[in-house]
Amino acid sequence: MENVQTLKSEKYKKYFCVPYLMGPNGVRLLDEMLDAFPMKYTEDNSILDLGCGSGLTSLYLAYETGAKVFAADLWISEEDNRKRIEEWGMQDRIIPMQCDANDLQFDKQAFDAVVSVDSYHYFGGKEGYFIEKILPLLKKGGTALICVPGIKNKYTGRSEAYLGPWLGDEASLFRSADEWKQIIGKNRDIVSVKTWELFGFYIPWQEWFDTLHGYALKDKQFFDSVIRPFSCFVGIMVTKI
């Protein structure tokens, strides 16, 4: 059974509600990944939080890594996230922006890390995307840390069959850890690619259900029949030479 007291995420519990959560609790997932692959930075370092949603993962990253965070999202406006960031008193540490992950206007080697929680599968699921769009943004020695919802390895290649009743056409976006390793690909500037199924599962989902958001209630209807038996959260860690 997962331990709700694990790691640092309990400090942010007051934000585990609407409008901050937009799906299974990304802070819990990020917490687990940073425990496995710590990021210790200063304000001279920078992280791109790609697909940051309401900015809650950006808040966590700024506090827990020490870095300056660029909070980028397509669906949430820069103005909306700026208001939240100002309420947190983090306007000097978190920079909001609204942008398309397929048209990122950043200099090469702009970031020490690129992080993406519960959004990368919407735009990064084609082979070649990471090499073309994300790898050039990382400084030498930089890290990409990504978490996506996926299908368990033993059901690789059968997302539509098992997850279709819940997700419809979007079932094809849910890949296994083994598939994601292939999708990230190989490149001479990549030291290693690690993909794995995260331990955390029930708590991120339950905290989403607890918001009573309309989409959460719809998801809950499929939890026992589809989500729990077949799906997982996949972690991806890539290190650049």
Residue pair 142/46 in contact (Cβ under 8 Å)? The answer is no
Q: What is the value of pTM for the model shown?
A: 0.96
- Domain assignment of residue 1, yes or no: no
- Domain assignment of residue 3, yes or no: no
Grouping H, G, I as helix, E, B as strand and the rest as coil, residue 160 is: helix
- Domain assignment of residue 106, yes or no: yes
What are the residue ranges in the chain where pLDDT is below 50? 1, 4-5
- Domain assignment of residue 4, yes or no: no
> What total of structural domains would you count in the chain?
1
| Nearest one of 185, 174, 198 to 238, comparing CA atoms | 185
In the chain, which ranges are continuous DSSP H helix?
26-36, 56-65, 78-88, 120-123, 129, 159-167, 177-184, 202-209, 214-220, 228-230
| Nearest one of 62, 23, 16 to 39, comparing CA atoms | 62
- Domain assignment of residue 2, yes or no: no
Quote the pLDDT of residue 70: 98
- Domain assignment of residue 69, yes or no: yes
| Nearest one of 213, 129, 230 to 175, comparing CA atoms | 230
The pLDDT tens digits of the residues spanning 52-83 come to 999 999 999 999 999 999 999 999 999 999 99
Q: Which DSSP state fits 88?
A: H
Quote the pLDDT of residue 69: 98
Quote the pLDDT of residue 161: 98
Quote the pLDDT of residue 5: 42
| Nearest one of 145, 83, 156, 86 to 113, comparing CA atoms | 145
For 213, the domain range is 9-240
Residue pair 172/151 in contact (Cβ under 8 Å)? The answer is no
- What distance in Å separates the CA atoms of residue 45 and residue 139, rounded to the nearest whole number? 10
How many helices (H) and strands (E) the chain has is answered by 10, 7
Compute the residue count for the chain. Answer: 241
CATH number of the domain where residue 150 is located:
3.40.50.150
